[in-house]
Amino acid sequence: MKIISYNVNGIRAALNKGFGDWLKSANPDLLCLQETKAMEEQVDTTVFEELDYQQHWHSAQKKGYSGVAILTKDTPLNVQIGTGIEHIDFEGRVVRADFEHLSVISLYLPSGTNLDRLDFKFKFMDDFQNYIDTLKKEYPKLVICGDYNICHRAIDIHDPIRNKKVSGFLPKEREWIDGFLKSGFVDSFRYLNPNLQQYSWWSYRANARNKNKGWRIDYNLVSENLKNNIKRAFHLPDAKHSDHCPVGLELEF
């Protein structure tokens, strides 16, 4: 099962940049999207239909903001739009699809760009952890794909010294993702690539992508009980429809 997660920073803009051709070539069984910035009815989904993807969208109440989706070639047993937690669901940040061997979540965790949003981010993280702790009792085999807006370790960011007081690499954020992993998850990319320094997001400023001054904030986290099913974990930095790149995972059952 080939899963790709991609923060597209606006699905309509990405489609105008050749996203459809890229998707045809990449051909994942399941695609998790974040920051779609659109209602489903605002998107020309022709290419998804032509490629036989079923679509499950969770858009924010605010137009042109946030939003997640799951595109899948296999029919899910069940799809859950949102979490049942109002402040999370209002911004369209979680959608889940359940299959025979696993459940897959597309997650868009908030950034902490200012003090108000940082407080919101910490509340989100706490509530999301509780949500997953409960969910695991019913769905113990989880893959949580998405933009976590946090670099876990120094290897995951181009300048750990200068960025240590910047949201996305704050000690409290890093501590949270460390605890989240210890609650029963594996960072699939780091599991197979313990020393590889690759990034998944680059600022649009100062030619950061060409200079490879990036952050690894996009993850495919896999339940510990699926660790032995991980066969490949990879980044696709040549895909340039967004300020992020796709991050992929292959599981074998």
pLDDT of residue 162: 96
Continuous segment of H or E residues that includes residue 121: helix 115-138
What would you measure as the largest C-alpha separation in the chain, in angstroms? 47
The pair of structure tokens assigned to 224 is 């510990």
Residue 114 pLDDT level (bands cut at 50, 70, 90)? confident
pLDDT digits (tens, 9 = 90+) for 185-221: 999 999 999 999 999 999 999 999 999 999 999 999 9
pLDDT of residue 70: 98
- Model confidence at 115: pLDDT above 90: no
Let me know if 178 is a catalytic residue: no
pLDDT of residue 72: 98
Query: Of 167, 143, 182, which is closest to residue 217 (Cα–Cα)?
Result: 167
Residue 194 CA to residue 187 CA, distance in Å, equals: 10
- DSSP label at residue 244: B
pLDDT of residue 152: 98
| Candidates 89, 126, 147, 218; catalytic one | 147
- Please, what is the average pLDDT of the chain? 97
pLDDT digits (tens, 9 = 90+) for 230-244: 999 999 999 999 999
Continuous segment of H or E residues that includes residue 174: helix 171-182
Residue 26: CB atoms within 10 A of its CB come to 15
Inter-CA distances, 63 with 40, 66, 90, 126, Å: 11, 9, 11, 26
pLDDT digits (tens, 9 = 90+) for 48-71: 999 999 999 999 999 999 999 999
Answer for the pair 109, 177: CB distance below 8 angstroms, yes or no: no
- Model confidence at 113: pLDDT above 90: no
- Model confidence at 116: pLDDT above 90: no
pLDDT digits (tens, 9 = 90+) for 146-155: 999 999 999 9
Once rounded to an integer, what is the mean pLDDT over residues 132-141?
98
Say what percent of the chain tops pLDDT 70.
Answer: 100
Residue 185 CA to residue 146 CA, distance in Å, equals: 14
Residue 237 CA to residue 154 CA, distance in Å, equals: 20
The pair of structure tokens assigned to 142 is 């989880």
Q: What is the CATH number of domain 2-251?
A: 3.60.10.10
pTM above 0.75, yes or no: yes
